[in-house]
Structure 1
Amino acid sequence: MQAQSLSYYEILHLPPPPHTTPTISEIRKAYHSALLEHHPDKSILTANDSSTPTVDEIVEAYNILSTSSLKVLYDQQLESVQQSKKIEEARFKRLIAQADSIDLDDFQTATSCVQHSKDIFAESSSITLSTGYARESCHGYPEDTCNLQQIWFRNCRCGKDDAYLVTESMLEHAFLESDNAQSDDRQILVQCSRCSTWIRVLFSLAE
């Protein structure tokens, strides 16, 4: 398994096709540089870092890219993955463009323990947000482990109750990540927990 889904080109710090086609000499040079950079005896900072490639992964990347027949097959596979990603990104953009805009004031609201909510719903599929997210439903959990927040929820037209969920943490994150510092108006995208429908939730800093 490649570290953090890095491609063999990324592991060796080589530009992937179709940008360029590295020569065997360039691949060999990149291989030795990567070994030196990530070898546990040479690099103290990355020796215990799971996000960086291991020596075995570097060797595997070199063996594939330095073998002509294997490199051709790998390049074809990589191109197929990239094309699939582009198609999925285009599909996602279409879904977002079609998303309905709904004001946060149009949601129902309650106090929620977001820490244990998934465990609560795992115990009973019939529990809805309006009851299941209440503090009393955190039975069996020490109170100091609960993370109480205000939540907002709304049904989806697919028929799923409480399909859209918004938490205080989500609103805070959206506000901090927003590029529009001149306005208190913000928005976040939320997907139905059952179907692929997205909505655009509008809110303001005052909320």
Structure 2
Amino acid sequence: MRHAFPGGTPALDFSGTLRFRHRVEPQEDLDSPESLGCWFRECGITERDIPCGAADLREAVTLREAIHRLVAARMSGEVYDRDALALVNEHARQPTPVPQLTETGRHVEATVGQALACVARDAVGVLGDPDVPLKECAAPDCSQIFVDRSRGARREWCAMDPCGNRIKAAAYRARKRVSGQGERRRVR
């Protein structure tokens, strides 16, 4: 898989395609129209990559940033940005992909607009439910938002690999340094 899906929902995973937002230079996962088409397939919206153009990519990035602004506002208790809200709702009103039954099983084809509508409707579902627990990954350089469905809502990282593993390994090394057990002894 080219893309990561640690958010627990397509809208949060889509928002997370601009990774490491806290860095001076975040990492863009939607770096080409082809990567957008691939994202739709890997997310499960369609079975095949959707052919996308440069205008489709610009539209998708605009929707992604609107979703991210709304998610950030929800998490900080701020009022939703009106333009972001209008854009997400505009996309959510559009038709979504329609699954078809074929002789070989289920088949879903979609246009870029239908796929974006699917993501926007998911954002409406996630942000419209006050009981959906949203968290930002505790790894210092990660900015992924995820739904915390863990028992007791104790999940800290978007995913164990790589974020949780890095934090746990760093904590282990720090404990070893403090206790003096991190030093290797020479055997003669």
TM > 0.5: no
Give the structure-2-normalised TM-score: 0.28
Higher strand share: 1
* Larger CA Rg, structure 1 vs 2: 1
Q: Which structure is richer in relative contact order (CA contacts within 8 A, separation 6 or more)? A: 2
